[in-house]
Amino acid sequence: MDSRVIFDLAVAEPVDGVVVISIVGELDMSTAPRLREELIRVASATDSPRVVLDLAGTDLLDPTGLGVIFDGVKRTRSRGGDLALARAEAHVLRDLELTRVIEILPAFDSVSEAIQSIAL
């Protein structure tokens, strides 16, 4: 029996004003709305929201998931904040490169590097 997690989000308390959202599993059409809701909540909670998406546990990132991430970038930046990615696996990073999302959204090898890049 396969006990793999299909999707889960974990939101950490802010570090240096940056909220870290860890994504585990598949970010696709059926799970992306949950991330969208969380990004809206976080972006609305402060004047200059700063968010790191920790993708270390992300198995799949489909076009819907990419769209939610892109919307998160627009939402945070429109409120004077920023969003960065951390620990994307090679296959996820490849998708970000192919879709050119990586050109507007920094991706870092570690969560701490991502936090430093967008912290106040």
44-84 residue pLDDT tens: 998 899 999 999 999 999 999 999 999 999 999 999 999 99
pLDDT of 2 strictly over 60: no
Percent with pLDDT over 70 in the chain: 96
Break the chain into its structural domains and give their ranges: 7-118
Model pLDDT, residue 42: 95
Relative to beta strand 19-27, strand 7-11 is antiparallel
- For domain 7-118, give the CATH superfamily: STAS domain (3.30.750.24)
Tokens encoding 51: 């968010």
In angstroms, what CA-CA distances link 38 with 3, 45, 72, 98, 113?
25, 11, 10, 26, 22
Cβ atoms < 10 Å from Cβ of 85: 25
Local confidence band at 3 (pLDDT 50, 70, 90 cut-offs): low
Three-state SS at 49: coil
